Amino acid sequence: MTQADGPHFETLAIHAGQEPDPATGAVIVPIYQTSTFAQDGVGRHKGYEYARTDNPTRTALQTALAALEGARWGLCYASGLAATQNVWYLLDPGHHVILSDDVYGGTYRLMARVVARYGIEYSLVDLTDPARVRAALRPETRMIWVETPTNPYLKIVDIAALAEIAHSNGALLVVDNTFASPYLQRPLALGADLVLHSTTKYLGGHSDVIGGAVLGNDPEIYQRLKFLQNACGDVPGPFDCWLILRGIKTLAVRMRQHSANGMAVAEMLRAHPAVERVFYPGLPDHPGHEVARRQMPRGFGGMVSFAVRGGADAARAVVEGTKVFTLAESLGGVESLIECPAAMTHASMAGSGNEVAENLIRLSVGIEHVDDLLADLRQALARISTAARASG
Ligand SMILES: *Cc1c(COP(=O)(O)O)cnc(C)c1O
């Protein structure tokens, strides 16, 4: 994935939109902590009037993220869900959206409990099967919303195949690229119309900021979203933009290590007697492995899920037994996290028909030394057999 005619990804991450400050020469983009900007005369200004509309720190981040996704433009938001909501404001009452049946829980809640009240219709579909997606199309379908890899089962959706289906119906293909990051996967090059990120995760990378972004190429969609961003006002503050700018400088090295550690953890778990099944697109027997190799050529990321033998109690014993992996929701930071989706991130799925198995554990594999991560998981998994022996 080298750029045909320009700097490489690692170079763009450090320099795109981030030239030394013209006023002072500061090498790092300053935090422009100001709400308003002086005008030379009425309506004559240096490109900035009021910081809801535009802020130079945000502009730098938007330029950098667009470069990383190979997009012509980018817009940043206060959170991933604020970005999601702005994209859905492109729709009119009566329009229909196809969402993955294991879409991020907050995305589902925003659609089902907020956006649907304004006359937007939606269907939940298994997007790994293009035939089902085609069957779910309606004349008024205007958007297909993809996550890949999905959460928490790490299913792989063929972006190029879905782009073709969406476009055959005059619909937009939107890819939530949060789990892969632009280092591992660039959906616009595969035919997607818009890419969305929770920059809270891998782009920020240090579990210290909430943010969102939308990237695309179409100038007309840019004008509509730029209007919505300013009209709705769900913009990020300059310090939050600065933290994400700081994070993306190391995105490439972090993603390489997340992917290497993720693969090593998945292989260890697959061979472990207390583990029933491992979900990781880097494993050759993963049903989406071939598609993943094509659309994630640089690696498969740091998200690994696995089912343990012994049900909910066994899963709880493991997630409460790790010492390096921290028991917490979220993902994408340098530190390793562990959680039980059925009781934590996906508790809201109870009763939806799309519940997550109670013996499933989700890991966000960090960039600590891999031997410490493997040893930690092994000692936590040993608690299952100890517990089983005690009760049996
Ligand atoms: C976290 C997340 C979101 C929501 O982002 P926030 O920044 O928490 O609002 C959306 N999609 C995916 C895949 C996520 O992991």
For residue 151, which atom of ligand 1 is closest to its CA?
13
pLDDT bin (cut points 50, 70, 90) of residue 392 is very low
pLDDT of residue 354: 75
pLDDT bin (cut points 50, 70, 90) of residue 351 is confident
Ligand 1 contact, 181 CB (< 6 A): no
In one-letter notation, the amino acid at residue 4 is A
**For the chain, counts of helices (H) and of strands (E):** 13, 12
* Interval between CA 12 and ligand 1 midpoint (Å): 24
Decide if pLDDT at 90 tops 80: yes
Task: State pLDDT tens for residues 330-343.
Answer: 999 999 999 999 99
pLDDT bin (cut points 50, 70, 90) of residue 181 is very high
9-248 to CATH, choices 3.40.190.10, 3.40.640.10, 3.30.950.10, 3.10.180.10: 3.40.640.10
Ligand 1 contact, 107 CB (< 6 A): yes
pLDDT bin (cut points 50, 70, 90) of residue 389 is low
pLDDT of residue 388: 59
For the chain, percent of residues with pLDDT exceeding 90:
91
Contact partners, residue 353, CB within 8 Å, separation at least 6: none
Ligand 1 contact, 234 CB (< 6 A): no
CATH 3.90.1150.10 fits 252-391, yes or no: yes
* Interval between CA 214 and ligand 1 midpoint (Å): 12
Residue nearest to atom 2 of ligand 1 (CA): 198
Average pLDDT over residues 73-84: 98
Ligand 1 contact, 105 CB (< 6 A): no
pLDDT bin (cut points 50, 70, 90) of residue 1 is very low
Ligand 1 contact, 198 CB (< 6 A): yes
**Separation between Cα atoms, residue 241 and residue 253, nearest integer Å:** 20
For residue 84, which atom of ligand 1 is closest to its CA?
10
In the chain, residues under CATH classification 3.40.640.10 are 9-248
pLDDT of residue 127: 97
* Interval between CA 164 and ligand 1 midpoint (Å): 26
Decide if pLDDT at 267 tops 60: yes
pLDDT of residue 92: 98
pLDDT of residue 2: 46
Q: How many residues does the chain have?
A: 392
Decide if pLDDT at 386 tops 70: no
In the chain, residues under CATH classification 3.90.1150.10 are 252-391
Active site residues: 52, 104, 176, 201
**Separation between Cα atoms, residue 294 and residue 288, nearest integer Å:** 10
Average pLDDT over residues 234-261: 98
Decide if pLDDT at 176 tops 60: yes
